[in-house]
Structure 1
C-alpha cells in the first residue's frame, strides 16, 4: 500500500513530465541581478540571495528601551521578527510610513529581520558594462555597505550588502 506522500510524489512526477517548458532566457554570466529599492534619495539593489521575502508592513508592537531605529516586533504567519527603520539607522531620518508600505525580509543569524524601504522597484539586472564608481553613492554610513554600483534606467544604483549590515555590531545591538 502506498502512502499519501508516495501518491503525491507520483502526481508531481507525472505532471512535470507533461509540462510545457517556457523558452529559456539566456542571460550572460556577467549579468548582476537583484532587488531594487529606494532609501531616501539613494537607489539601491541587493542580491536576490540576501532578500528572503518582500512583504507589506506588518503590524508592529513597540519594544521599550530599544534604539529608535528598531520600530518594534512584527508578526507574519506566526513568526516574530524585529522591524527596522533602515533609513533612520543609515541617515538618522525616520521613514515616512504610508499605506502600501513594503519591507524587505533579510536573514541574519538568529532569525529574520524586516527592513523598511521608501520605495520598491523590483528586479533589476545590470551588465558589467554598466558598472560605475560607487564612491558618490557610498558616502556617510553607506560607505560600509556599498562597494559596487551600476548605472541603468537613467539612475545610479548602489549595491547594498544586507549580509554586511547583519554583521555590523551596532545593527546587532538594538538595546538603547
Structure 2
C-alpha cells in the first residue's frame, strides 16, 4: 500500500516534469499563486522545490523577528522566513492553510518561506509592469487582471541574494557589534 506522502511526492515530481516539458516546448511560464500579507503573489514554479504544510519549527535565539527558525525536511535543515514580516507587513498566521515554500536547490540555499495560503498553479499571460512603490528588489513585476486583481511576481534569485534576507542576526547584535 502506498502512503499519502509517497503519493504526494510522486504527484509533485510528475507535475514539475510536465511543467519543465511545457517550458522546453515554449509554453507560457507556470507560476505558483499564493497569498502573502493579504496580497496575491506569484513565483515561478521552477524556482520552488516543494510546498508543504508548515512542519515543527525550532527557534534560533538572537535572530530577526521574521526569521522563524529551522526545520528538518527528510534529513536536511532549512532556514524558514516569514516573508510578510520581512517586508514589514506583519506576521503570517500559522494555521491549517499556511504553507512552507521550499526554494529550489539550484539556488544553493537551504531555505524556505511561509505563505498565508496557496492559490494554485497559474499561467500569467498578462503584460507586466514595474511594481508600484515596492521597497524590495525581489518583487520584480505586477500583473493586472481585467477584474482588478493584482499579482506581484517574486523573483527567487533576487530574494536569496538580498542582504536583508541573508542577515538573520538580531538588530541588537548588529548595533552592539
Task: Give me the TM-score of the superposition, normalised by structure 1.
Answer: 0.73
Preserved CA contact (<8 Å) 1:133 1:149? yes
The CA distance in 1 between the partners of 2:169 and 2:37, in whole Å, is 25
SS at match of 2:94: coil
Q: Who wins on radius of gyration, i.e. which is larger?
A: 1
Preserved CA contact (<8 Å) 1:126 1:152? no
Q: CA deviation at 1:48?
A: 1.5
Q: CA deviation at 1:156?
A: 1.6
Preserved CA contact (<8 Å) 1:63 1:73? yes
Match of 1:115 in 2: 113
Preserved CA contact (<8 Å) 2:37 2:89? no
Match of 1:156 in 2: 150
Larger proportion of strand: 1
What residue ranges of structure 2 are gaps of 5+ in the alignment? Answer: 1-20, 171-177
Q: CA deviation at 1:131?
A: 1.3
The CA distance in 1 between the partners of 2:108 and 2:156, in whole Å, is 15
The CA distance in 2 between the partners of 1:151 and 1:140, in whole Å, is 16
The CA distance in 1 between the partners of 2:89 and 2:46, in whole Å, is 27
Q: CA deviation at 1:30?
A: 6.6
Deviating beyond 6 angstroms after TM superposition, the runs of 4 or more aligned structure 1 residues are: none
Q: CA deviation at 1:153?
A: 8.0
RMSD: 2.6
Preserved CA contact (<8 Å) 1:57 1:103? yes
Match of 2:40 in 1: 43
Q: Any residues of structure 2 matched to 1:20-59 within 5 Å, and which?
A: 29=26, 31-59=28-56
Preserved CA contact (<8 Å) 1:134 1:158? no
